[in-house]
Amino acid sequence: MGFGERSSAGAAWVAAGVVAALGTAWLVASDLWVDGLGLGPEGLLRFRRVEGAVLVAVVAAGVGWLVRCGAAGWGRQEDRWLAALAEESPGPVVSFDGQGRFVWANASARAFAAEQGLSSPLELLPPGHGEVVMRCLATGQPERRLEARCGDRWFSWNFLPVLSGGRVHAYGGDITDLVMARVERERLEERLRQAERLEALGRFAAGIAHDFNNLHMIIQGNAELGLLQTTRPDAVKRCLERIAAASGRAADLVAKLLAYAGAEPAAPETVDLASVARQVAGDMADLVPKGVRLRVEAAPQTPTACADVGQMRVVVLNLITNALEAVAAGGAVAVRVGRLDDAETWFAGVELAEPEMGRPYVLLEVTDTGPGMDEETRRRAFDPFFTTKFLGRGLGLSVVWGVARRFGGGVRIDSAPGRGTTVGVALPACPGS
Protein backbone atom coordinates (compact mmCIF):
# COMPACT_ATOMS: atom_id res chain seq x y z
CA MET A 1 0.00 0.00 0.00
CA GLY A 2 1.43 3.41 -1.02
CA PHE A 3 1.71 6.50 1.11
CA GLY A 4 -1.42 8.11 -0.35
CA GLU A 5 -3.43 4.94 0.21
CA ARG A 6 -2.22 4.67 3.86
CA SER A 7 -3.12 8.34 4.42
CA SER A 8 -6.64 7.84 3.05
CA ALA A 9 -7.19 4.72 5.13
CA GLY A 10 -5.80 6.44 8.29
CA ALA A 11 -8.08 9.42 7.82
CA ALA A 12 -11.07 7.12 7.51
CA TRP A 13 -10.19 5.30 10.77
CA VAL A 14 -9.65 8.59 12.61
CA ALA A 15 -13.02 9.83 11.39
CA ALA A 16 -14.71 6.66 12.59
CA GLY A 17 -13.04 6.99 16.02
CA VAL A 18 -14.11 10.61 16.40
CA VAL A 19 -17.71 9.78 15.51
CA ALA A 20 -17.78 6.91 18.06
CA ALA A 21 -16.23 9.13 20.78
CA LEU A 22 -18.69 11.96 20.21
CA GLY A 23 -21.65 9.59 20.29
CA THR A 24 -20.48 7.96 23.54
CA ALA A 25 -19.77 11.32 25.20
CA TRP A 26 -23.20 12.58 24.28
CA LEU A 27 -24.95 9.55 25.75
CA VAL A 28 -22.98 9.77 29.03
CA ALA A 29 -23.54 13.51 29.35
CA SER A 30 -27.25 13.22 28.62
CA ASP A 31 -27.70 10.58 31.34
CA LEU A 32 -25.96 12.88 33.90
CA TRP A 33 -28.20 15.77 32.90
CA VAL A 34 -31.36 13.69 33.26
CA ASP A 35 -30.38 12.60 36.75
CA GLY A 36 -29.65 16.19 37.78
CA LEU A 37 -32.78 17.74 36.26
CA GLY A 38 -35.28 15.45 37.99
CA LEU A 39 -37.72 15.41 35.05
CA GLY A 40 -41.08 13.71 35.18
CA PRO A 41 -42.24 11.08 32.75
CA GLU A 42 -43.36 13.51 30.04
CA GLY A 43 -40.24 15.68 30.37
CA LEU A 44 -38.03 12.62 30.28
CA LEU A 45 -39.72 11.44 27.06
CA ARG A 46 -39.15 14.79 25.37
CA PHE A 47 -35.52 14.84 26.52
CA ARG A 48 -34.89 11.35 25.12
CA ARG A 49 -36.31 12.49 21.78
CA VAL A 50 -33.93 15.44 21.69
CA GLU A 51 -31.11 13.14 22.75
CA GLY A 52 -31.85 10.75 19.89
CA ALA A 53 -32.05 13.54 17.32
CA VAL A 54 -28.68 14.95 18.39
CA LEU A 55 -27.12 11.47 18.26
CA VAL A 56 -28.51 10.88 14.76
CA ALA A 57 -27.09 14.23 13.61
CA VAL A 58 -23.64 13.41 15.00
CA VAL A 59 -23.63 9.98 13.36
CA ALA A 60 -24.87 11.40 10.04
CA ALA A 61 -22.12 14.02 10.04
CA GLY A 62 -19.54 11.36 10.78
CA VAL A 63 -20.83 9.07 8.05
CA GLY A 64 -20.75 11.93 5.56
CA TRP A 65 -17.16 12.63 6.51
CA LEU A 66 -16.28 8.94 6.07
CA VAL A 67 -17.95 8.84 2.66
CA ARG A 68 -16.06 11.92 1.49
CA CYS A 69 -12.74 10.59 2.76
CA GLY A 70 -13.37 7.18 1.18
CA ALA A 71 -14.49 8.66 -2.15
CA ALA A 72 -11.43 10.87 -2.38
CA GLY A 73 -9.17 7.95 -1.51
CA TRP A 74 -10.82 5.57 -3.98
CA GLY A 75 -10.82 8.24 -6.68
CA ARG A 76 -7.11 8.79 -6.30
CA GLN A 77 -6.52 5.06 -6.18
CA GLU A 78 -8.60 4.56 -9.35
CA ASP A 79 -6.63 7.27 -11.13
CA ARG A 80 -3.40 5.53 -10.14
CA TRP A 81 -4.71 2.18 -11.36
CA LEU A 82 -5.75 3.67 -14.72
CA ALA A 83 -2.41 5.43 -15.11
CA ALA A 84 -0.52 2.21 -14.32
CA LEU A 85 -2.70 0.25 -16.74
CA ALA A 86 -2.11 2.75 -19.56
CA GLU A 87 1.63 2.89 -18.88
CA GLU A 88 1.98 -0.91 -19.01
CA SER A 89 -0.31 -1.31 -22.06
CA PRO A 90 1.43 -3.07 -24.99
CA GLY A 91 -0.32 -0.66 -27.35
CA PRO A 92 0.38 3.06 -27.63
CA VAL A 93 -1.68 5.38 -25.40
CA VAL A 94 -1.73 9.18 -25.73
CA SER A 95 -3.52 11.56 -23.34
CA PHE A 96 -4.91 15.07 -23.86
CA ASP A 97 -6.18 17.60 -21.31
CA GLY A 98 -9.47 19.49 -21.30
CA GLN A 99 -8.06 22.05 -23.76
CA GLY A 100 -7.08 19.36 -26.25
CA ARG A 101 -3.37 19.71 -25.47
CA PHE A 102 -1.03 16.74 -25.48
CA VAL A 103 0.05 15.93 -21.94
CA TRP A 104 1.35 12.36 -21.85
CA ALA A 105 2.23 9.21 -23.84
CA ASN A 106 2.98 5.77 -22.48
CA ALA A 107 6.16 3.77 -23.02
CA SER A 108 4.75 1.84 -25.99
CA ALA A 109 3.82 5.04 -27.83
CA ARG A 110 7.28 6.47 -27.24
CA ALA A 111 8.89 3.20 -28.39
CA PHE A 112 6.80 3.00 -31.58
CA ALA A 113 7.60 6.63 -32.39
CA ALA A 114 11.33 6.02 -31.91
CA GLU A 115 11.17 2.85 -34.02
CA GLN A 116 9.64 4.80 -36.93
CA GLY A 117 12.06 7.69 -36.53
CA LEU A 118 9.38 10.16 -35.39
CA SER A 119 10.02 13.20 -33.24
CA SER A 120 6.80 12.86 -31.21
CA PRO A 121 4.23 10.14 -30.40
CA LEU A 122 1.62 12.54 -31.81
CA GLU A 123 2.83 11.60 -35.30
CA LEU A 124 1.46 8.10 -34.72
CA LEU A 125 -2.09 9.51 -34.56
CA PRO A 126 -4.38 9.81 -37.59
CA PRO A 127 -4.53 13.13 -39.47
CA GLY A 128 -6.91 15.61 -37.86
CA HIS A 129 -6.66 14.03 -34.41
CA GLY A 130 -6.91 17.46 -32.78
CA GLU A 131 -10.43 17.90 -34.14
CA VAL A 132 -11.33 14.42 -32.93
CA VAL A 133 -10.13 15.25 -29.39
CA MET A 134 -12.13 18.49 -29.25
CA ARG A 135 -15.20 16.71 -30.59
CA CYS A 136 -14.91 14.06 -27.85
CA LEU A 137 -14.62 16.79 -25.20
CA ALA A 138 -17.63 18.66 -26.59
CA THR A 139 -19.96 15.67 -27.06
CA GLY A 140 -18.67 13.28 -24.39
CA GLN A 141 -18.87 10.50 -27.00
CA PRO A 142 -15.98 8.23 -28.00
CA GLU A 143 -14.71 7.92 -31.56
CA ARG A 144 -13.48 4.49 -32.53
CA ARG A 145 -11.49 2.62 -35.16
CA LEU A 146 -9.67 5.53 -36.82
CA GLU A 147 -6.86 3.98 -38.89
CA ALA A 148 -3.50 5.61 -39.49
CA ARG A 149 -0.40 4.43 -41.31
CA CYS A 150 3.01 5.24 -39.90
CA GLY A 151 5.92 3.94 -41.93
CA ASP A 152 5.44 0.20 -42.32
CA ARG A 153 2.98 -0.05 -39.41
CA TRP A 154 -0.79 0.46 -39.22
CA PHE A 155 -2.65 1.50 -36.06
CA SER A 156 -6.34 1.63 -35.15
CA TRP A 157 -7.12 4.40 -32.63
CA ASN A 158 -10.00 4.75 -30.16
CA PHE A 159 -10.50 8.20 -28.59
CA LEU A 160 -12.25 7.89 -25.21
CA PRO A 161 -13.27 10.97 -23.17
CA VAL A 162 -12.96 10.91 -19.36
CA LEU A 163 -15.54 13.53 -18.42
CA SER A 164 -14.88 13.48 -14.67
CA GLY A 165 -11.30 14.55 -15.24
CA GLY A 166 -11.83 16.56 -18.43
CA ARG A 167 -9.40 14.43 -20.40
CA VAL A 168 -9.31 12.35 -23.57
CA HIS A 169 -7.25 9.17 -23.86
CA ALA A 170 -6.34 7.80 -27.31
CA TYR A 171 -5.71 4.03 -27.28
CA GLY A 172 -3.93 2.57 -30.30
CA GLY A 173 -3.69 -1.00 -31.52
CA ASP A 174 -1.17 -2.37 -34.03
CA ILE A 175 -3.29 -3.76 -36.90
CA THR A 176 -0.48 -4.19 -39.44
CA ASP A 177 -1.16 -7.92 -39.86
CA LEU A 178 -4.90 -7.30 -40.30
CA VAL A 179 -4.29 -4.62 -42.94
CA MET A 180 -1.84 -6.83 -44.81
CA ALA A 181 -4.37 -9.68 -44.75
CA ARG A 182 -7.03 -7.31 -46.07
CA VAL A 183 -4.76 -6.11 -48.86
CA GLU A 184 -3.92 -9.71 -49.78
CA ARG A 185 -7.61 -10.62 -49.80
CA GLU A 186 -8.39 -7.68 -52.09
CA ARG A 187 -5.53 -8.71 -54.38
CA LEU A 188 -6.83 -12.28 -54.58
CA GLU A 189 -10.35 -11.01 -55.25
CA GLU A 190 -8.99 -8.83 -58.06
CA ARG A 191 -7.12 -11.83 -59.49
CA LEU A 192 -10.32 -13.86 -59.39
CA ARG A 193 -12.27 -11.10 -61.17
CA GLN A 194 -9.54 -10.84 -63.79
CA ALA A 195 -9.50 -14.61 -64.30
CA GLU A 196 -13.27 -14.67 -64.71
CA ARG A 197 -13.12 -11.75 -67.16
CA LEU A 198 -10.38 -13.36 -69.24
CA GLU A 199 -12.16 -16.70 -69.20
CA ALA A 200 -15.37 -15.08 -70.44
CA LEU A 201 -13.46 -13.22 -73.15
CA GLY A 202 -11.75 -16.48 -74.08
CA ARG A 203 -15.09 -18.23 -74.61
CA PHE A 204 -16.28 -15.24 -76.62
CA ALA A 205 -13.14 -15.24 -78.76
CA ALA A 206 -13.39 -19.00 -79.36
CA GLY A 207 -17.00 -18.70 -80.50
CA ILE A 208 -16.16 -15.90 -82.93
CA ALA A 209 -13.12 -17.75 -84.21
CA HIS A 210 -15.04 -20.94 -84.95
CA ASP A 211 -17.89 -19.13 -86.74
CA PHE A 212 -15.47 -16.96 -88.67
CA ASN A 213 -13.38 -19.97 -89.62
CA ASN A 214 -16.39 -21.64 -91.23
CA LEU A 215 -16.93 -18.60 -93.48
CA HIS A 216 -13.22 -18.26 -94.17
CA MET A 217 -12.90 -21.85 -95.36
CA ILE A 218 -15.70 -21.32 -97.90
CA ILE A 219 -14.03 -18.14 -99.19
CA GLN A 220 -10.57 -19.64 -99.34
CA GLY A 221 -11.77 -22.86 -100.95
CA ASN A 222 -13.60 -21.10 -103.75
CA ALA A 223 -10.71 -18.69 -104.32
CA GLU A 224 -8.26 -21.57 -104.70
CA LEU A 225 -10.63 -23.39 -107.08
CA GLY A 226 -10.89 -20.22 -109.15
CA LEU A 227 -7.12 -19.91 -109.37
CA LEU A 228 -6.97 -23.38 -110.86
CA GLN A 229 -9.03 -22.16 -113.82
CA THR A 230 -6.22 -20.94 -116.06
CA THR A 231 -8.61 -19.89 -118.82
CA ARG A 232 -9.98 -17.01 -116.74
CA PRO A 233 -8.98 -13.48 -117.66
CA ASP A 234 -6.05 -11.92 -115.77
CA ALA A 235 -8.30 -9.43 -113.96
CA VAL A 236 -10.35 -12.23 -112.42
CA LYS A 237 -7.15 -13.99 -111.45
CA ARG A 238 -5.88 -10.87 -109.65
CA CYS A 239 -9.14 -10.59 -107.73
CA LEU A 240 -8.92 -14.22 -106.73
CA GLU A 241 -5.33 -13.68 -105.56
CA ARG A 242 -6.46 -10.79 -103.35
CA ILE A 243 -9.25 -12.96 -101.95
CA ALA A 244 -6.78 -15.73 -101.18
CA ALA A 245 -4.35 -13.28 -99.48
CA ALA A 246 -7.15 -11.78 -97.37
CA SER A 247 -8.27 -15.28 -96.50
CA GLY A 248 -4.75 -16.08 -95.32
CA ARG A 249 -4.77 -13.04 -93.03
CA ALA A 250 -8.18 -14.12 -91.74
CA ALA A 251 -6.77 -17.56 -90.97
CA ASP A 252 -3.95 -15.91 -89.01
CA LEU A 253 -6.51 -13.92 -87.01
CA VAL A 254 -8.49 -17.08 -86.28
CA ALA A 255 -5.31 -18.81 -85.06
CA LYS A 256 -4.61 -15.91 -82.71
CA LEU A 257 -8.13 -15.91 -81.32
CA LEU A 258 -7.98 -19.65 -80.73
CA ALA A 259 -4.54 -19.33 -79.16
CA TYR A 260 -5.83 -16.74 -76.72
CA ALA A 261 -8.91 -18.83 -75.94
CA GLY A 262 -6.83 -21.96 -75.40
CA ALA A 263 -9.10 -23.81 -77.78
CA GLU A 264 -6.59 -24.65 -80.50
CA PRO A 265 -5.30 -28.23 -80.23
CA ALA A 266 -1.62 -28.35 -79.37
CA ALA A 267 0.68 -31.27 -78.69
CA PRO A 268 3.74 -30.25 -76.68
CA GLU A 269 7.04 -30.90 -78.40
CA THR A 270 10.68 -30.12 -77.80
CA VAL A 271 11.33 -26.47 -78.70
CA ASP A 272 14.71 -24.74 -78.77
CA LEU A 273 13.63 -21.23 -77.80
CA ALA A 274 17.04 -19.75 -78.64
CA SER A 275 16.81 -21.04 -82.23
CA VAL A 276 13.23 -19.76 -82.56
CA ALA A 277 14.25 -16.33 -81.24
CA ARG A 278 17.22 -16.08 -83.65
CA GLN A 279 15.07 -17.14 -86.60
CA VAL A 280 12.30 -14.63 -85.86
CA ALA A 281 14.80 -11.84 -85.18
CA GLY A 282 16.52 -12.61 -88.50
CA ASP A 283 13.21 -12.52 -90.38
CA MET A 284 12.45 -9.12 -88.82
CA ALA A 285 15.89 -7.58 -89.51
CA ASP A 286 14.53 -5.42 -92.35
CA LEU A 287 11.74 -4.11 -90.08
CA VAL A 288 14.03 -2.77 -87.36
CA PRO A 289 13.87 1.07 -87.38
CA LYS A 290 17.04 3.09 -87.85
CA GLY A 291 18.77 3.86 -84.59
CA VAL A 292 17.37 0.70 -82.91
CA ARG A 293 19.57 -2.26 -81.94
CA LEU A 294 18.04 -5.74 -81.82
CA ARG A 295 20.11 -8.56 -80.35
CA VAL A 296 19.49 -12.15 -79.20
CA GLU A 297 21.35 -13.65 -76.24
CA ALA A 298 21.20 -17.31 -75.23
CA ALA A 299 22.76 -18.76 -72.09
CA PRO A 300 24.84 -21.91 -72.60
CA GLN A 301 23.24 -25.28 -71.81
CA THR A 302 19.74 -23.82 -71.86
CA PRO A 303 17.19 -26.66 -71.69
CA THR A 304 14.53 -27.04 -74.36
CA ALA A 305 10.94 -26.05 -73.61
CA CYS A 306 7.80 -28.16 -73.84
CA ALA A 307 5.65 -26.12 -76.25
CA ASP A 308 4.61 -25.84 -79.90
CA VAL A 309 7.15 -24.45 -82.36
CA GLY A 310 4.61 -22.59 -84.50
CA GLN A 311 2.92 -20.98 -81.52
CA MET A 312 6.25 -20.00 -79.97
CA ARG A 313 7.15 -18.22 -83.22
CA VAL A 314 3.95 -16.21 -82.83
CA VAL A 315 4.88 -15.44 -79.20
CA VAL A 316 8.39 -14.23 -80.08
CA LEU A 317 7.08 -12.27 -83.06
CA ASN A 318 4.49 -10.44 -80.95
CA LEU A 319 6.96 -9.63 -78.17
CA ILE A 320 9.63 -8.29 -80.54
CA THR A 321 7.02 -6.30 -82.50
CA ASN A 322 5.74 -4.62 -79.35
CA ALA A 323 9.29 -3.87 -78.17
CA LEU A 324 10.30 -2.35 -81.54
CA GLU A 325 7.22 -0.13 -81.52
CA ALA A 326 8.16 1.07 -78.02
CA VAL A 327 11.64 2.18 -79.20
CA ALA A 328 10.71 3.42 -82.65
CA ALA A 329 12.43 6.76 -81.95
CA GLY A 330 15.67 5.00 -80.97
CA GLY A 331 16.86 2.54 -78.37
CA ALA A 332 17.61 -1.12 -77.92
CA VAL A 333 15.70 -4.41 -77.80
CA ALA A 334 17.26 -7.48 -76.21
CA VAL A 335 15.92 -11.04 -76.46
CA ARG A 336 17.34 -13.35 -73.80
CA VAL A 337 16.83 -17.10 -73.37
CA GLY A 338 18.05 -19.12 -70.40
CA ARG A 339 17.23 -21.35 -67.49
CA LEU A 340 14.92 -19.90 -64.84
CA ASP A 341 16.89 -20.44 -61.64
CA ASP A 342 14.34 -19.36 -59.00
CA ALA A 343 10.95 -20.25 -60.42
CA GLU A 344 9.11 -19.82 -57.11
CA THR A 345 10.20 -16.20 -56.70
CA TRP A 346 9.61 -15.40 -60.36
CA PHE A 347 6.08 -16.82 -60.39
CA ALA A 348 5.25 -14.95 -57.17
CA GLY A 349 4.87 -11.83 -59.32
CA VAL A 350 2.79 -13.55 -62.00
CA GLU A 351 -0.97 -13.25 -62.16
CA LEU A 352 -3.19 -16.18 -63.10
CA ALA A 353 -0.51 -18.86 -63.27
CA GLU A 354 -0.37 -22.29 -61.65
CA PRO A 355 3.25 -23.42 -61.96
CA GLU A 356 4.47 -26.85 -60.97
CA MET A 357 7.00 -26.08 -58.26
CA GLY A 358 10.14 -28.20 -58.31
CA ARG A 359 10.08 -28.52 -62.08
CA PRO A 360 12.75 -26.73 -64.18
CA TYR A 361 11.59 -23.85 -66.39
CA VAL A 362 13.00 -22.02 -69.41
CA LEU A 363 12.75 -18.22 -69.47
CA LEU A 364 12.34 -16.09 -72.59
CA GLU A 365 12.67 -12.35 -71.94
CA VAL A 366 12.26 -9.41 -74.31
CA THR A 367 13.49 -6.09 -72.92
CA ASP A 368 13.18 -2.65 -74.47
CA THR A 369 14.49 0.78 -73.44
CA GLY A 370 11.23 2.52 -74.29
CA PRO A 371 9.05 4.79 -72.13
CA GLY A 372 7.67 1.94 -69.99
CA MET A 373 4.15 1.40 -68.68
CA ASP A 374 2.21 2.92 -65.83
CA GLU A 375 0.32 0.68 -63.41
CA GLU A 376 -3.03 1.00 -65.22
CA THR A 377 -1.51 0.05 -68.60
CA ARG A 378 0.40 -2.85 -67.07
CA ARG A 379 -2.75 -4.14 -65.38
CA ARG A 380 -4.70 -4.15 -68.67
CA ALA A 381 -1.87 -5.34 -70.90
CA PHE A 382 -3.32 -8.87 -71.27
CA ASP A 383 -6.85 -7.73 -72.12
CA PRO A 384 -7.78 -8.70 -75.68
CA PHE A 385 -7.97 -5.76 -78.11
CA PHE A 386 -6.45 -3.36 -75.56
CA THR A 387 -3.76 -1.18 -77.11
CA THR A 388 -2.01 2.08 -76.33
CA LYS A 389 -1.30 2.69 -80.02
CA PHE A 390 -3.49 4.91 -82.20
CA LEU A 391 -3.79 2.03 -84.65
CA GLY A 392 -3.13 -1.54 -83.61
CA ARG A 393 -4.51 -5.02 -83.28
CA GLY A 394 -4.27 -5.16 -79.52
CA LEU A 395 -4.00 -8.97 -79.58
CA GLY A 396 -0.27 -9.44 -79.01
CA LEU A 397 0.12 -9.95 -75.27
CA SER A 398 -3.24 -11.67 -74.89
CA VAL A 399 -2.07 -14.28 -77.39
CA VAL A 400 1.24 -14.63 -75.53
CA TRP A 401 -0.65 -15.14 -72.27
CA GLY A 402 -2.94 -17.76 -73.85
CA VAL A 403 -0.04 -19.78 -75.28
CA ALA A 404 1.95 -19.69 -72.04
CA ARG A 405 -1.10 -20.74 -70.02
CA ARG A 406 -1.82 -23.65 -72.29
CA PHE A 407 1.64 -25.17 -71.81
CA GLY A 408 1.72 -24.66 -68.02
CA GLY A 409 3.80 -21.48 -68.00
CA GLY A 410 3.25 -17.84 -67.19
CA VAL A 411 3.90 -14.30 -68.38
CA ARG A 412 5.37 -11.53 -66.25
CA ILE A 413 5.68 -7.81 -67.03
CA ASP A 414 8.23 -5.66 -65.23
CA SER A 415 7.84 -2.02 -66.22
CA ALA A 416 7.60 1.52 -64.90
CA PRO A 417 7.41 4.93 -66.58
CA GLY A 418 10.84 5.96 -67.80
CA ARG A 419 12.42 2.56 -67.08
CA GLY A 420 11.53 0.51 -70.14
CA THR A 421 9.71 -2.81 -70.20
CA THR A 422 10.69 -6.45 -69.77
CA VAL A 423 8.20 -9.16 -70.72
CA GLY A 424 9.16 -12.64 -69.55
CA VAL A 425 7.61 -15.93 -70.63
CA ALA A 426 8.42 -18.99 -68.53
CA LEU A 427 7.70 -22.47 -69.92
CA PRO A 428 8.33 -25.92 -68.44
CA ALA A 429 11.58 -27.52 -69.54
CA CYS A 430 11.41 -30.85 -71.29
CA PRO A 431 12.47 -33.79 -69.14
CA GLY A 432 16.11 -34.75 -69.63
CA SER A 433 17.00 -31.66 -71.65
Would you write out the chain's pLDDT as a tens digit for each of its 433 residues? Answer: 443 444 445 555 555 555 555 555 555 555 555 555 555 555 555 555 555 555 445 555 555 555 555 544 444 554 555 555 666 677 888 889 888 899 888 888 888 888 888 888 888 888 888 888 898 888 888 888 888 887 788 888 889 888 666 788 888 888 888 888 888 888 878 777 777 766 666 666 666 666 566 666 767 777 777 667 666 677 677 777 777 777 776 776 666 666 655 555 566 889 999 999 999 998 888 888 889 999 999 999 899 999 988 888 889 988 998 899 889 888 999 999 999 988 888 988 776 667 777 889 999 999 999 999 988 888 878 776 666 664 445 556 877 888 888 888 999 999 999 999 999 999 999 987 6
User: For residues 176 and 115, what is the distance between their CA atoms, to the nearest angstrom?
Assistant: 15
**If phi over 0 gives left and psi between -120 and 50 gives alpha, with beta otherwise, what is residue 335?**
beta
Sorted by sequence, the CB contacts under 8 Å of residue 361 that are 6+ apart come out as 339, 340, 343, 346, 355, 409, 426, 427, 428, 429
Mapped onto helix, strand or coil, the DSSP state of residue 382 is coil
Mapped onto helix, strand or coil, the DSSP state of residue 228 is helix
Task: Enter the CATH code of domain 89-174.
Answer: 3.30.450.20
Residue length, the chain? 433
Q: Of 263, 241, 244, 245, give the one whose Cα is nearest residue 254.
A: 263
User: Which CATH superfamily does the domain covering 269-428 fall into?
Assistant: Histidine kinase-like ATPase, C-terminal domain (3.30.565.10)
